[in-house]
Structures are given as C-alpha cells and as structure tokens.
Amino acid sequence: MIKLIRSIAISCSALSACLGSFSPAHANTWPTKPIRLLVGFAPGGPTDVVARIIAEEMGKELKQPIIVENKAGAAGNIAAAMLKQAPADGYTLLYNTSSIVIAPWVYQQVGFDPLTDFTPIALTAAVPLVLAINPNVNAGSPQELINLLLATPDHYNYASSGTGAIEHLTAAHMLSAVNAKAVHVPYKGTAPAQVDLIAGATQFTTTTLNTAISPVKAGQLKALAVTSKERTPAMPDVPTLSESLIPGFESLAWQGIVAPLGTPTELVTILNNAINKALQTTQVQTKLAQQGTIVLGGSATEYKDYIASEYKRWGEVVEIADVALD
C-alpha cells in the first residue's frame, strides 16, 4: 500500500496535470469567507495537530482562514455525520482519518456511507503505527512478544484508543495472523491508553508513530516494530512487522479531506490545488516529518479510488480478525 500511496503523490507532482479545469469566475471570487474544517478528534491530539498544520498553509493559499472545529466522539463518526448534513458550498470540510472507512464495519449505525455521502478532495498524509510495549515486558522483538502471548493465552493486555479504532484493528489483525491471543482494553482516546501502558496497567499496544515518538525516546515505552512496509526515518533502527514477523503486513493511519456530496467540481479543484500546494511547502513537510508523518497529496479522483480500496481492505481485516461489532 505504501508504494501505491507514494505513486499517487508522485503522479501529482505537476499539479496542473491532476487538477481539472475550473471557472475563472469562481477562481476569482471563491472563497469569500472563512472555511470550517471539522476534526473528529480532541484538540491537541495527533490528528488535530496535523490538520492544523495543513489548514494554516491552505488558508494562505486561499486567502481566507481555515477554522478548525473539533467535534470529537465516536471515533470521528460525529464529525463525519455532521459533514453529511452541511451545505455543499465548499465552506464546510472534514479532515478525515482512515476511521471513515473502518467505522461502517465496526459500528451498527454510523450515520454516513463513506463511498456515497461525501466528495473526496485529497489524500493528505499517512502515519505508520508502532508495536510498543511497557519496558517491564520481557520481549526484545515482535517474535519474543508473540512467544509470551502463545505461552500464556489471554494473560497479557493490549491498549487502544477505542473499540474499532485503527490501533485496535491493527493489533487484532497481528494477533490473528500469528494465532495469538491477548485481552483488548479499549480507552476513550489515545492519551489515557498511553498513560496506563506506561504505568504498566497494560502490556502492549499498536499506536500511531507520532504518538509513540516521545515516550519511546524517553524510555517510557519500547518500540518493537513499525507497521509500514519500509522502516521509518523517525525510528530507523526499529524493524517493520513485515520483515520481523508477518511478511507483507502493513497498516497506516491515513488522513485526507472530504466535502459534502454535491460540492461543485470547480470548488473541488480549487480546494485540491490549495491542499497540494500546502503539502509541498517546506513548513508543512518539515513539521510533519518531525512526527514521522508521510506527506502525500494527489487528485480528487485518486482519493476517491483510494477510499474505495481501503473500505474493502478494512472490511476484510474486521472479518479475519473477528472483531466484535458494537
């Protein structure tokens, strides 16, 4: 998948080739007021931080401020459902995560369909996950951790930011692939999950790289593997799960921006242009690289196709990992 994502970014290096035509009148007059960017997670969290970095640069390009509004709850579902009801005038957008395609497989009712209720604008970034353990766990590699789990089924606990979150599904998928078992402990967010892991109330997790960097550097957690196909520059000495335990394994917490269904094509073009230009700035690339975030980009059509492929893939993961639906 990482090669697919990178090919999307490369294919749009010449923006004029991947941005459609647009009305000169709209280009000259829109936007005429601030744009709302809904974020379905709490202020200061990893998704919120990236959204604000990109929003600031987008605002410079559009010459209107992008106002981030946090509508946290239900793994981002509340914000997504709000966007579905918003006017399709380009003034309300959603900074979505991969949860937009996971939620329909995990929850009975989410209030939206990711394939039919939104207008994709652009893929923005992706974050690998890290298999991290409390330092008191006697494991120096993914295989050693799995050996412990196999020796004492259901004795060890793993934390996540909530049932059905990508952290939960990534860990569940890993365990299913090696026929190991552990007790899932869901929390209401990444922060409390990490606090208990550091304290030793749980033993391991798969959490986003930008969340794991600080506690790993501080020695509060130990990183055993990353879930990208290739090693990350942010943790060059940490192997991938693909090379160390499960060949071909990959899980990325990707992000993007969508608008309400029916948003005019010319507005999609303008917004896509602004996002891609923002992603190419030194400020954005430097800030995101510091968090281990992969900068992407691409056309609206490519993002639509990517959402569809990820929706199918995560549906298969939920089935294979036998994740209980809420």
Domain chopping of the chain, boundaries: 2-126+251-321, 128-244
CB atoms within 10 A of CB 268: 22
Q: Domain 128-244: state its class.
A: alpha beta
Write out pLDDT tens, residues 166-194: 999 999 999 999 999 999 999 988 889 99
Write out pLDDT tens, residues 201-248: 999 999 999 899 999 999 999 999 999 999 999 999 999 999 999 999
Query: Fold match between 2-126+251-321 and 128-244?
Result: yes
Residue found by looking up tokens 């990236």 in the block: 50
Q: Is it true that domain 2-126+251-321 has CATH number 3.40.190.150?
A: yes
- Cα 8 to chain centroid distance, Å, stands at 17
Three-state SS string across the chain, please?
CHHHHHHHHHHCCCHHHHCCCCCHHHHHHCCCCCEEEEECCCCCCHHHHHHHHHHHHHHHHHCCCEEEEECCCHHHHHHHHHHHHCCCCCCEEEEEECHHHHHHHHCCCCCCCCCCCEEEEEEEEEEEEEEEECCCCCCCCHHHHHHHHHHCCCCCEEEECCCCCHHHHHHHHHHHHCCCCCEEEECCCHHHHHHHHHHCCCCEEEEEHHHHHHHHHCCCCEEEEECCCCCCCCCCCCCEHHHHCCCCCCCEEEEEEEEECCCCHHHHHHHHHHHHHHHCCHHHHHHHHHCCCEECCCCHHHHHHHHHHHHHHHHHHHHHHCCCCC
Q: Which of 121-125, 138-142, 209-213 has the lowest mean pLDDT?
A: 209-213
* pTM of the full structure: 0.85
Mean pLDDT of 298-317: 96
